Amino acid sequence: MESIVYAVEGFMYPNEMELQWSILIVLYPFITGLVAGAFILASLERVFNVEAVRPTYRLALLTALSFLLVAPLPLQLHLGHPERSFEMYLTPNTSSAMAMFGFVYLWYLMAVLVIEIWLDYRKDIVLMAREKTGLMHWVYRVMALGSDNISPRSLEIDDKVGKFVTVIGIPSAFLLHGYVGFIFGSIKANPWWSTPVMPIVFLFSAIVSGVATVLLMYMFMTWISGKTLDMRCLDTTARYLMYAFIIDFSLELLDLIHRIYESDESFKTLDFMVHTRLYTSQVIVQIVIGTLFPIGLLALVQLVKVSDLARKGIYVLSACLTLVGIFAMRWNVVIGGQLFSKSYLGYTAYKMDFATKEGLLPAVILLLLPFVILWGLVRLLPTTPGEPEEA
Amino acid sequence: MTSTRREFLVRTGKYLLLTPAAAAAIDNILAGNAATAPAYDMSDHWWGMAIDIEKCIGCGNCVRACKVENDVPVEGPYFRTWVERYHVSYQEPGGEAERITVDSPEGGYNGFPEKYREGDGAKSFFVPKLCNQCSHSPCTQVCPVGATFESPDGAVLVDKAYCMGCRYCVQACPYGCRFIDPRTETVDKCSLCYHRITRGLTTACCEVCPTGARSLGDFKNPKDPIHDFVRLNNVQVLKPQMATGSKTYYSGLDGSVR
Amino acid sequence: MKELLKDKEHLVRMGLLFLGGTLAFMVARIIFVPKGYGMYGQYRAGALDDNRSRPLSFAGRAACEDCHSDISEARAGSKHAGIGCEACHRALAKHAEDPEKVKPVRPDAQSVCLVCHEVNVAKPRGFPQVEPKEHAEEQPCNTCHLPHHPEKSPDEPAEETPVEVQQ
């Protein structure tokens, strides 16, 4: 029967054999995680006055925006009826964590990110409107909302409002990604997901992935623009990456130790799953390659004096491995939670197709799309890395 | 008041009064079968299901009947109801407290080919499963748009015209009773044959059960046999620790049942 | 006012944009939220009617007995008396609606009987089960058992003679 087609081992409830949530649902928290993480890094400078990371400020915001624009796409592709997704705005079920997606997303996009970017860039936008002609002139005029006022006082006001927006932006970013963790953590039917630390673990791994992304983007863009890298900025960013990662790993370790110690009814089946079907992605990729190795490298830099060039290499390597590790974490949560039966008596396998609606190809395209958007945004709103904001 | 003005007022008054009445009438007609709309009052019923494990013979009549009655795809892992066969042995020396083997070949659609032999030291039995029609259902709690809900008379139903197919409810159900219908890309599950029970008939599965292992229950009907069923038997629900308020009561449910 | 707004018009414009968006959203809600949503709970009331208006496939025992009361009498007193007609005769709502146009097909005794009565370790102990080859060699079940009253044989005199059923 379907046991052959669906590679079931042991017993699964007949309806469980087919996985419900695919790689697209792995991708969604990864993307919103990058958004939240990039934004948190940007707010380090704005609200907590961590001067050193200022060069990455604008880049972090634009990165967050690019990824945020792509975030709903994997969800739409996944839905059985994407044309009905607007129902979440019309009739959100107030007891459902997923129902808040539409509003949290819209709030974060418009009231936080767009406003903050607009306020920070407004002077440049107005200057470009004055400078350009033809279509581009009108594009910038619309973006400036027709205003031509860049007097020092107006910019002062912008700065104050911007700071306020960033302050409310931080809990908003927490909400944007934390609710995803809650979506999983609140499902009592699934013991792999059901834990109160899920939203926090998601959030910290989001911060880690966002900081790693901005770090890589910053190094890349400095390199292609031929400018010199601000090593102080880079070192500080990498240090924050390490701190966040240590917290994240500690939380995940806590959950693991807790499970092993309590050894409740679900433990045997979960343990077996981690040792067999999830071994490569969980133990090898997520923990060893994606967490211990980058933390180790970053810690090394703190303990031992390393040359600038070596440090750059270590940062690139650590950041890349971090992103792989955080992606693996999302994979292990989403896919792992569906590989075992709720009867605790069996397992199935995830068959990922390539060129179907929920296959690997659309996932790869969606992962690359934000960089395309970022390229466009950077051309529209230049953010030369390293150049301090003009007062 | 001139006659034309009075006429005008009377006519307007008529329209104002009749329009809501007409609207209500149209609503009633559009609501579906005229035969069901006025005769069935939801507040008179509170539905549940009684399942007697000691009577189930694993014939699979219920699985087949449900697929016919509710237009469930025959091929593939799509079941509104299914039957599981348990085979339990105890206290293997040096092993687990109990060893449980469960199988459900095509949900029991074609019965259960013999797999075990008499006298192997284990016990085996059948367990029919279906949507537990929970009164605190986790599935309706998580639906983002309200496409699945608990009706006022205790049935957990799906609004197929509204479901987006996000599959959150499928993840949230502890009993694995939901699935996505591949033809409509919306969620489907046992609806307690709502179209039958609101017409005074019983569910398709109960109709064809030869031993009376399955029977529909209406808790608000004082004469309903379910009252004796829950009173005179030791009844349990599946996964009571999940506190789902399941209204599917099993008599003779063994501790090994998942 | 002008003093107050000096150097802030762009913020006001942004604020108005937001206000406009919110109003548009509220209007859209009024137009697009389906009628009947929220009447009984956080769902569309029409869904109750949708669920009620499925066509029937099984007529239900009462519908059969309306016309076939003779069969009900024949079954009285037997172990099969409590079984729904469509358990063996399959879905017959169409036949109940139009008995002349839609005729049921007589079930094959072998397959219909063995589904319940073929021996299986998981079946309850007291339930009558047989190993078909041992019990009846290759003969169909209704050679010795009347399906509607299995304790009787075909062409049996009026008195009931119980047939040995292997436990």
Which of the four pLDDT bands, split at 50, 70 and 90, describes residue B4?
A: low
CA dist C40 and C53 (Å) reads 18
User: Is A98's Cβ below 8 Å from some Cβ in C?
Assistant: no
Scan residues 15-74 of C and list those with Cβ closer than 8 Å to B. Answer: 34, 37, 40-44, 46-58, 60-62
Task: Tell if the CB–CB gap between B165 and A20 is shorter than 8 Å.
Answer: no
CA angle B108, B110, B111 (to 5 degrees): 60
User: Considering only CA atoms, which of B61, B73, B69 is closest in space to residue B194?
Assistant: B69
Scan residues 10-39 of C and list those with Cβ closer than 8 Å to A. Answer: 10-11, 13-14, 17-18, 21, 25, 28-29, 32-34, 37-38
CA dist C35 and C27 (Å) reads 15
Q: How close is the nearest chain A Cα to the Cα of B171, in Å?
A: 7
pLDDT tens digits along C6-16: 888 899 999 99
Return the bridge partners of A368, or none.
Answer: none
CA angle A102, A107, A110 (to 5 degrees): 115
pLDDT at A49: 82
CA angle A198, A203, A208 (to 5 degrees): 125
Q: Integer distance in angstroms from the first to the last C-alpha of chain B?
A: 79
Please report residues of C whose CB lies closer than 8 A to that of B146.
Answer: 37, 41-44
pLDDT tens digits along B125-171: 999 999 999 999 999 999 999 999 999 999 999 999 999 999 999 99
Q: What is the β-pairing status of strands B179-181 and B186-188? A: antiparallel
Q: What is the β-pairing status of strands B81-90 and B47-52? A: unpaired
Give, in order, the Cα–Cα distances in Å from B189 to each of B90, B233, C91: 34, 28, 20
Residue B98 exposed, middle or buried by CB count within 10 Å (0-12, 13-18, 19+): middle
pLDDT tens digits along B20-74: 444 444 444 444 333 344 589 999 999 999 999 999 999 999 999 999 999 999 9
Chains that touch A (3 or more CB pairs under 8 A): B, C
Task: Tell if the CB–CB gap between B186 and A20 is shorter than 8 Å.
Answer: no
CA dist A38 and B148 (Å) reads 37
User: Is C133's Cβ below 8 Å from some Cβ in B?
Assistant: no
Chains that touch B (3 or more CB pairs under 8 A): A, C
**Residue pair A42/A56 in contact by the 8 Å Cβ criterion:** yes
Measured in whole angstroms, how far is the alpha carbon of residue B163 from the centre of its chain?
18
pLDDT at B31: 40
Of B152, B160, B191, the CB nearest to C40: B152
Tell me: pLDDT of A52 over 80: yes
Instruction: Provide φ and ψ at B142, rounded to 5°.
Output: -95, -5
Q: How close is the nearest chain C Cα to the Cα of B65, in Å?
A: 8
Averaged pLDDT, B165-178: 97
Please report residues of C whose CB lies closer than 8 A to that of A107.
Answer: none
Which of the four pLDDT bands, split at 50, 70 and 90, describes residue A225?
A: confident
Q: What is the β-pairing status of strands B248-251 and B47-52? A: parallel
CA dist A92 and B145 (Å) reads 5
* H or E segment to which residue A26 belongs: helix A23-46
pLDDT at B7: 63
Tell me: pLDDT of A389 over 70: no
pLDDT at C136: 83
pLDDT at C7: 83
For B50, the token pair is 């009684």
Q: How close is the nearest chain A Cα to the Cα of C121, in Å?
A: 19
CA dist C54 and B202 (Å) reads 14
User: Is A299's Cβ below 8 Å from some Cβ in B?
Assistant: no
Task: Calculate the average pLDDT of chain A.
Answer: 91
Give, in order, the Cα–Cα distances in Å from A261 to each of A249, A267, A271, A286: 18, 10, 12, 22
CA dist B9 and B15 (Å) reads 10
- Give the residues of chain C that fall short of pLDDT 70: 1, 156-167
Task: Calculate the average pLDDT of chain B.
Answer: 88
Q: What are the percentages of helix, strand and coil residues in chain A, rounded to 5?
A: 75, 0, 25
This prediction's pTM: 0.89
User: Is C167's Cβ below 8 Å from some Cβ in B?
Assistant: no
Return the bridge partners of B99, or none.
Answer: B89
Return the bridge partners of B86, or none.
Answer: B102, B125
Averaged pLDDT, A27-34: 95
Percent of residues, chain B, with pLDDT higher than 90: 78
Which of the four pLDDT bands, split at 50, 70 and 90, describes residue A224?
A: confident
Task: Tell if the CB–CB gap between A91 and C42 is shorter than 8 Å.
Answer: yes
ipTM attached to this prediction: 0.91
DSSP-assigned letter for residue B187: E
Instruction: Provide φ and ψ at A10, rounded to 5°.
Output: 80, -145
For A116, the token pair is 């903050």
**Residue pair C64/C92 in contact by the 8 Å Cβ criterion:** yes
pLDDT tens digits along A96-115: 999 988 899 999 999 999 99
pLDDT at B200: 94
Scan residues 53-112 of A and list those with Cβ closer than 8 Å to B. Answer: 78-82, 84-85, 87-88, 91-93, 95-99, 101
CA dist B22 and B29 (Å) reads 11
CA dist B112 and B115 (Å) reads 8
CA dist A235 and B37 (Å) reads 71
Neighbours of B17 (CB within 10 A): 10
Tell me: pLDDT of A297 over 60: yes
Please report residues of A whose CB lies closer than 8 A to that of B254.
Answer: none
Strand, coil or helix: B186: strand
Residue A385 CB partners (closer than 8 Å, separation 6+): A55, A56, A59, A218, A221, A222, A225, A227
Neighbours of C22 (CB within 10 A): 10
pLDDT at A383: 75
Tokens 């549940």, located at residue: B48
Q: How close is the nearest chain B Cα to the Cα of A250, in Å?
A: 28
Question: Which segments of chain B does DSSP mark as H helices, in order?
Answer: 3-30, 61-69, 138-142, 168-172, 194-197, 204-208, 226-232
pLDDT at B23: 42
